[in-house]
A = this chain, B = another copy of it.
Amino acid sequence: MGCLSLEMDFELSAMTPRSLAMTPRSLARQRLFPNVENKKQKVEQSGAGPRKNLQLEVMEPGLKNDGPSLDTILVNYLDTLTQRVNFHLGYPVNICYDHYATLAPLLQFHLNNCGDPFLQNTVDFHSKDFEVAVLDWFAQLWEIEKDQYWGYVTNGGTEGNLHGILLGRELLPEGILYASKDSHYSVFKAARMYRMDSETINTSVNGEMDYSDLRAKLLQNKNRPAIINVTIGIYLLQLLSFFFFSFMDLISHLTTSPLMFFLTIGTTFKGAIDDVDVILETLKDCGYSQDRFYIHCDAALCGLMTPFINNMISFKKPIGSVTISGHKFLGCPMPCGVQITRKSYINNLSTNVEYIASVDATISGSRNGLTPIFLWYSLSAKGQIGMQKDVKRCLDNAKYLKDRLQKEGISVMLNELSIIVVLERPRDHEFVRRWQLSCVKDMAHVIVMPGITREMLDNFISELVQQRKQCYQDGKAEAPCVADDIGAQNCACSYHKIDYISS
C-alpha cells in the first residue's frame, strides 16, 4: 500500500518490534511529522520512567494560553509512549503491529457498523463487509457453519461477556449463573445488572475451576437451569489500578466495603483454563439435559491461542457463545472483541422483544467501524501460519523467562500452555511501575505477548536480579512466601527453598 509492503510490516515487527530507528514505522512517522526530531534513541538509553499525568484541560483558541500548544502536548505524549513501549511487560496487549501507516487514512471518515452486522445499511460509512469476513474466520476456527452462527465485533471482552450472559438469561430466564471466583469481574457485574442469581465456584491453586465444588452447587440447585461462565485463560486488566494510588485517593473516590476489594484480588492471574469437557460431563452427571444449561466461554486472551494448541473451543460441543478480545493476542490500537453464538439463540432473543423496539441484538448499537478493518487486516496479513508462529514464539519465550527466573532462585509459576509467568512481587514499587507489572497480593506477572522479545526479557531479568540484591542483601527483609498462591513447589522463599524445583 504505497509506502509499506505487507511483508515488511509484519516481518520487521516480529523481528525487531522495539527498534524503531530505521523501520517503516519511523519512516511513516517522519512523513507525518517532518519537523519533529526523532529523540527516541537518546531517551531510551537513559531509561525512561513511568509517564506522569499531563494535568490537561480543554483549551479555548483565541484566549491567552501560557502552557504548551496542542501540537507540543501531542508530540510529547507520543514520544513518551514510544519510550515506554520497551517496558510493557505486564499487560496482555500485542503492541507489535506497524500497519498504522497503512490504515491511518481510514481516520478521515466516521465508520459506524450500527446494529446487526448481517443487515444492510443505507449509509455507506460502515465496514460490515470486513466485519462479516472476520466473523466467518472465527466461526470456522470454532467449528460452526456460516448459516448456523451469529456474532459481531464488540468493543472488548466485557461486552462479549455481557452479551453471552444476557443470551443465556433470555434462553433460561430462571437460570442461575455459575462462575469461578477467578472469572473476569464483568461476569459478576452482568449478574447484578441482569438481576440474576449467581453461584461463585472455588478454584484450585493454578486458578482452574474446582469441578467438585461446581458439582456440589449444581446438585444443590437442580430445580433451576444453569448458565455457566467458562474461563479460557482470561486476564484482568483493571485490578492493577488499586495497588499504586494512595489510600486517601481510594477513600476520596469510593466509600466502598473492604469485601469488594478482596474479591477483586481473586481474579485469574495465572492463565489457567477451565476444562469445557469436564464441565459438560459434570452437567450430564448431575442430570442437566442440554435444554437446561447454557455455556458462555470467556476466551479473552487464549481464544486465539488454544486453536493452535488443542480444540478446546468448538461449537460441535453444546456451548452457547464464545468471546475473545481482539486487541490482546492479535493486537489493535483500541479495545475490541469478537462474540460468536448460535443463530437460533439470537432469533429467540429477537422474538421475545416486547420492549426492545428494534431487531438490533448487539449491546452497543452504534459500533466502531475501524476495528473490524484492523482485525481483518491483521488476520489476513498474518494468516493461520503467522498466528501459529506467534503462539509458538510466545510459549517458548514464556518458558525461557520461567527457566531463567528459576535459575536465579526467584519464585515462579507457569501453567501448561500459558504465556502468563507468575513471579514473586518485586519489593520496589518504582521497579514494578517502570516495568508496568501487574501485581496481586505477593505476586506479579509478565504476559509474554508477541511483541515481547528475548532482549526485553533479558533486560528485565538482569534489572530484577539487581533490584533483589539491593532489597534483600542486608538480611533485614526477605523474599515473600507465595506457596499458598502458586504452590510450594514454585516458591523459593527461605522456608520452601528446600523443595524448590530448581534446587
Contacts and interface: CB of A to CB of B under 8 A. Distances in A.
A229 B266 CA distance: 37
Interface string A64-89: 00000011001100101100110010
B1 A71 contact: yes
Given A109-B333, A125-B93, A61 B238 contact: no
Contacts of A120: 53, 241, 244-245, 249
Interface in A185-200: 185-186, 188-189, 191-195, 198
Contacts of A238: 114-115, 358, 360, 365-366
A453 B107 CA distance: 21
Interface string A458-483: 00000000000000000000000000
Interface stretch (A27-35, A284-292, A391-399, A411-419): A27-35
A432 B101 contact: no
A3 to B, nearest CB: 6
A249 B335 CA distance: 31
Interface string A330-349: 01111100000000000100
A327 to B, nearest CB: 6
Q: Within the oligomer, what is the number of copies of this chain?
A: 2
B122 A438 contact: yes
B110 A95 contact: yes
A248 interface: no
Which range holds the interface residue count of chain A?
A: 35 or more
Nearest to A451: B110
A364 interface: yes
Contacts of A112: 93, 237, 327, 334-335
Contacts of A350: 254-256, 260
Interface in A348-391: 350-351, 353-360, 363-371, 373, 376-377, 379-386
A85 B34 CA distance: 29
B385 A124 contact: no
A130 interface: yes
A270 to B, nearest CB: 17
A111 interface: yes
Interface in A117-175: 118-125, 128-130, 132-134, 136-137, 155-159, 162, 166
Contacts of A162: 363
A315 to B, nearest CB: 18
A2 B33 contact: yes
Contacts of A266: 357
- A28, A31, A35, A36: most-surrounded residue (chain B CB, <10 A): A31
Contacts of A95: 109-110, 125
A110 B33 contact: no
Nearest to A183: B357
11 contacts: A1-B74, A59-B383, A70-B377, A90-B123, A111-B334, A114-B238, A115-B237, A155-B368, A189-B358, A192-B354, A266-B357
Given A119-B242, A120-B241, A121-B240, 8 more contacts: A56-B130, A58-B133, A58-B376, A62-B383, A74-B373, A81-B109, A106-B333, A155-B155
